């Protein structure tokens, strides 16, 4: 079973089924599913393992949380790099816009 090919709603159900009884995982899965972005994001879907339960054979999916933490850290690194490169330009543009707004008021 490929998590990337499943509809987001079905994936959310499989994640919830796998987390049942583990309250922290249930909360995390509910938050992830209700957010509306992550289950549609291909990068996030790659860290979801989908398969079958070893006890019942029923389909289920789990989020590989260590991989999720590494993905988040990488996104933060990219954001910092982007801001360091473009941040000053953005600050200057915002300051110029603010001056323009103030002078027209």
**Residue 37 DSSP one-character state:** S
Is the whole-model pTM more than 0.85? no
Q: What is the mean pLDDT of the chain?
A: 78
Tell me the backbone φ, ψ of residue 36, rounded to 5 degrees.
90, -10
State the pLDDT at residue 54.
78
Q: Determine the number of helices (DSSP H) and then strands (DSSP E) in the chain.
A: 4, 2
Contacts of 42 (CB under 8 A, 6+ apart): 4
Say yes or no to pLDDT of 12 above 80.
yes
What is the greatest pairwise CA distance in the chain? 70
Q: What is the pLDDT of residues 87-105, one digit of tens each?
A: 666 666 667 777 776 776 5
């Amino acid at each position: 079973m490929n998590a990337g090919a499943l509809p987001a709603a079905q994936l959310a159900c499989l994640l919830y089924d796998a987390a049942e009884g583990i309250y922290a995982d249930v909360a995390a899965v509910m938050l992830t599913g209700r957010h509306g972005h992550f289950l549609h994001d291909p990068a996030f879907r790659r860290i979801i393992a989908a398969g079958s339960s070893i006890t019942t054979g029923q389909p289920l999916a789990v989020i590989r949380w260590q991989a999720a933490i590494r993905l988040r850290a990488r996104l933060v690194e990219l954001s910092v790099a982007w801001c360091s490169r473009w941040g000053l330009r953005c600050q200057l543009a915002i300051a110029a816009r603010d001056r323009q707004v103030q002078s027209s008021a």
